[in-house]
Amino acid sequence: MKLDETMYKHVLAAYKNAYTPYSKFNVGAVLKLKNGEYITGSNIENASYGLSNCAERSALFRAYSKGIRKDDIEAIMVVGNTEGPISPCGACRQVMSELMDLDSKVFLTNLNKDIKEYTVRELLPYSFSEGDLKHE
């Protein structure tokens, strides 16, 4: 698989913007929109660790705050300083399953440009969704 160099440039910029004074573990994410626009997100830590936010969710929340919705999103790329391609945490997988089309591409990479490609559905095949909520 060939790495999308434009996406990688954007995701690397997001990686460099991370705020990680505690873990020193930067993560960057970039959404590629169907109109050619890119939306980045970085992981942001907090001294109260539970209040930290991952790069994937930062990018998606930023996009939704701008009025962008799942039908506008083509793909997401995530980067971290890991031996192999980084993997999103469970919370990010769940958020991606609601805020992105399940067939959207997910590109996982690292600083060595190793890459794996999945769909949102492949990363979380049994996601909890609106259909699981009982409305009586």
Q: Which residues form the catalytic set?
A: 56
d(CA 7, CA 26): 17
What is the signed CA dihedral for 117, 76, 80, 3, rounded to 10 degrees? 50
d(CA 95, CA 26): 20
- The sheet with strand 73-80 has its strands ordered as 38-42, 27-33, 73-80, 105-110, 115-119
